[in-house]
Chain A
């Protein structure tokens, strides 16, 4: 992958830094507000003191959010990891099929599968509930895993298909001449090349699944509720003391945030590796 060579520092470099500073302020201002509000005592949260630092640092809201989150954390992790891995693997296989094995109607089927990405979940809530209940998975984390795996298939297939299309056909043909069949080509050619694609897909899917609310609240029971439901409980009620929802939001966002900080570079590399070309 080519990196831009260092150019002469232009006269406009200061403008670059200025604009980047403005952008940074825009992106970080809400974060400052969240942290500051989460650390204030409820009585200190008034509209005119919004931007001021907390007079007394109150860590209690974090403690409270943490205790209400902890049981749900396991659910969210189980759900996120399982559903992400399943939908990524299936997406990879589907992408492989759709890009390297042309059978009649493959493109049409791809198009039809892609359309599944776009349905609003509210309109299928009731039939989905009935279905999950009928297979006995209502109220369990596995019911949510099924739902998120299925609805993750279109986007993972899309990303992998576009990614694998870039793999030269010659490489596939050479391997098949050497005697590898369908699974052999996947194992020896496609899968080893797939890492950037997997990074993109895993980051995207994990974020979507971790943050989803509607199915989480409808298809779960208290024992199997993910963290998004717990967050809503914190912010609910008649008298909202803003420090709790803010602390909760920070804690709930931490895992996905860490994923982005750790893998952000690979995310961009993955996008570059052809998984996003139109």
Chain B
């Protein structure tokens, strides 16, 4: 056995061992406990919910079934949709604004370090502080809506956090259909890129899976009705205010990342491109942006995990009872601690974890394969 070759390698293992043990208990141990709780009925019977020695029964996936197909849990389903839309717009906004600010700052304007501090400082605030400030800003009768009056225009009329408008609506019963189509499209893309890389077998497997999935979607997929009646979900415009506040807080971070990345682009590269006749626009598009791709990936991961877990900001901005701006983390909190339904709260928590896992595991596996090469 080649390892441990010497006492140094043993030291390495011993040094990292305490952290591994701590993470094993505090993360995986608790996740396992959470998962187990979600498979029980703890909380359904008030007499057992908060008792000192509760009698808890194992009920399998019943809580999950209820969350996805139960009548009363339409709020959870909308929360899932809310979170996904929020994540998409928040990340897009942060990346976009951060990149724009970084490019502007990279041009070395006067007062650059003051500007950098201005753009970076919201990151130092807690989400609760940001939420409190923006809540005051977005009051329908004050704050931002009053800004136009300063220049003589009529006040804004958007209801911000209390708006009940919803766009991009779809029926939950159509979800299997849409999901199948999206997965099929992804498989088509995998197949085409496999063919380009001359991996024929992989290409054919991917394309035929896509075809089967699409066929299923249009026949059985349309007929499968998770709910007995149509249930509309969509993007709640009330989230616009929250997205704004979140972007305000976090785009300093993406700006710092991109600024560092831009500083890391060697000047020789830029000069060479210019000598070759590239305009500024082409310079950015063809040379610099591709170099920033790993930074984008890293930022997406960090921002994504913040947005999927988001709680403090929404709690401070809209309170726990504002249904249009609800998210699963908030719902889990009040289901467990106000409704005393600990098992259901645990189920929501576990689903949140799965959602994060979907985002993280591909990133981690690419890290893994890249790490092996280093």
Contacts and interface: CB of A to CB of B under 8 A. Distances in A.
A242 B143 CA distance: 13
B143 A50 contact: yes
Given A20-B109, A30-B137, A260-B123, A120 B352 contact: yes
A16 interface: yes
Contacts, number: 271
A153 B124 contact: no
A235 to B, nearest CB: 6
Contacts of A277: 294-295, 298
A94 interface: yes
B360 A120 contact: no
Contact of B13 (A20, A103, A249, A253): A103
A13 interface: yes
Interface in A77-105: 90, 93-94, 97-98, 101, 103-104
Interface residues of A, number: 96
Interface stretch (A53-61, A62-70, A187-195, A207-215): A207-215
Contact of A151 (B7, B26, B101, B364): B26
Interface in A1-39: 1-7, 10, 13, 16-17, 19-20, 23-24, 26-30, 33-34, 37
A101 B23 contact: no
A17 B356 CA distance: 39
A257 B15 CA distance: 34
A23 B136 contact: no
A124 B118 contact: no
Contacts of B133: 30, 33-34, 246, 249
A67 to B, nearest CB: 19
Given A3-B263, A211-B125, A256-B124, A267 B256 contact: yes
Interface in A155-173: 157, 165
Nearest to A250: B129
A181 B8 contact: yes
Contacts of B100: 19, 23
Given A27-B122, A150-B23, A120 B309 contact: yes
A29 to B, nearest CB: 8
B191 interface: no
A48 B140 CA distance: 11
Given A50-B146, A211-B127, A94 B298 contact: no
B4 A103 contact: yes
A201 interface: no
Given A93-B15, A252-B129, A51 B150 contact: yes
Nearest to A211: B126
Interface string A228-252: 1001100100000010011001001
Interface string B323-349: 000000100110010000010011001
A6 B108 contact: yes
A249 B129 CA distance: 6
A19 B349 contact: no
B132 A249 contact: yes
Contacts of A5: 267
A277 B146 CA distance: 43
Interface residues of B, number: 104
Interface of A is mostly: helix
A120 B120 contact: no
Contact of B125 (A23, A126, A253, A272): A253
Interface string A174-211: 00000001110000000000000000000000010011
B144 to A, nearest CB: 9
B11 A183 contact: yes
Nearest to B245: A30
A157 B27 CA distance: 15
B240 interface: no
B371 interface: yes
A118 B309 contact: yes
Interface string B127-141: 111001110110101
A272 B353 contact: no
Nearest to B147: A51
A228 B367 CA distance: 36
A59 B350 CA distance: 47
Contacts of B28: 112, 116
B229 interface: no
Nearest to B18: A90
B114 to A, nearest CB: 9
Nearest to B129: A249
Contacts of B31: 119, 123-124
A122 B311 contact: yes
Given A165-B374, A265-B113, A278-B298, A103 B12 contact: yes
Given A20-B104, A47-B139, A249-B132, 12 more contacts: A2-B263, A6-B108, A51-B147, A123-B30, A124-B26, A182-B15, A183-B11, A210-B126, A213-B126, A257-B121, A271-B257, A272-B261
Task: Pick the 6 closest A-B CB pairs, nearest first.
Answer: A123-B349, A211-B126, A278-B294, A47-B142, A272-B260, A116-B27
6 contacts: A98-B16, A124-B30, A127-B30, A181-B11, A277-B298, A278-B295
Interface of A: 1-7, 10, 13, 16-17, 19-20, 23-24, 26-30, 33-34, 37, 47-48, 50-51, 90, 93-94, 97-98, 101, 103-104, 107-120, 122-124, 126-128, 131, 150-151, 153-154, 157, 165, 181-183, 207, 210-214, 228, 231-232, 235, 242, 245-246, 249, 252-253, 256-257, 259-261, 264-265, 267-269, 271-272, 276-278
